Amino acid sequence: MIDCIWPVATTLGEGPVWDAQARRLWFVDIKGGRLHSLTPETGARESFEIGGNPSFALPSDQGGLVIGNRDRLLHWRRDAVTELARIPGMVATDRTNDATVDAAGRLWFGTMDDLESTPTGQVRVYDGGTITEAGAAAIVTNGPAISGDGRTLYHVDSLARTIWRFDIRGGATTLFGGVPFRTFSGDEGLPDGVVVDAQDHLWVGFWAGGCARRFAPDGTLVTEVRLPCANVTKLALGGPDLRTAYVTTARAGLSAAELAAQPLAGGLFSFRVEVPGRVLPPVRVG
């Protein structure tokens, strides 16, 4: 059963992540410049004005969150926001997009061309002190996501409709040996955010596809869950048993007629899954 648990009407809802310590879900509205949180146990909802284009918000090992915003990484706390790093090598129209964390606490994040026309985006790594360019050039990056054993990184080249698989064993920060995990046809929508569950299956949101799909490690489609809006961006697997899927969606790109037909577009949805997710380690910031 699919429930809209918060009709928050984000312009571009993205980056849901389960904060196991706080028992809270965080997500962002990239185009709305906001950070949102939901505490399922109490139903408490909070929204924070961040400004700019916050694209991910992940728990930090120093408390608070690490937020990607345009050309910088921020350390956000309720009472203060500090700049962790400026991201080198970005052009004026670039911004951060999606992100994940590996077992060592390194932040793997994508950048993209906000005009969606030039392949200036790529995957980068923040190790608490420096930012390294890892590669995988694309116009719009999504993911990345990392396998449970830490050896494989999945990178989504959304406009090329392709999910790539890279080998990152041995602590590598450069992506080598990329092979396509799966490529999608035009009528399937664009692959967007991706998360890996406890069986190393990939849950992928589909922009203009109206669904979330789960794929086995060999690329086989296992499950498809339809949602009542076209632009499905990303899932997080959370809750006490990590078996609740929280799904962000977007109103961006929809016409007035489409918005009228999709009144819950931009809402936060949930449904139950059989296989739990994994808790991401906190980002190492110092």
- Residues belonging to the active site: 192
Please report how many Cα atoms fall inside a 13 Å half-sphere around the Cα of residue 271, on the Cβ side: 17
Token representation of residue 164: 């790539």
3-state secondary structure of 23: coil
> Are the C-beta atoms of residues 270 and 5 closer than 8 Å to each other?
yes
Rounded to 5 degrees, φ, ψ at 38 are: -135, 130
Nearest to 108 by CA among 138, 69, 165, 153: 153
The residue behind tokens 């700049």 is: 83
Residue with tokens 């090329």: 160
**Residue given tokens 């906001």 in the structure block:** 34
Tokens of 243: 């078996």
Per the omega criterion (within 30 degrees of 0), is the bond before 217 cis?
no
Round to whole Å and give the CA distance between 155 and 265.
26
Our measurement of the distance from residue 134's CA atom to the centroid of its chain's CA atoms, rounded to an integer in Å, reads 18
Residue type, 21: Q
Distance of CA 124 to the CA centre of its chain: 14
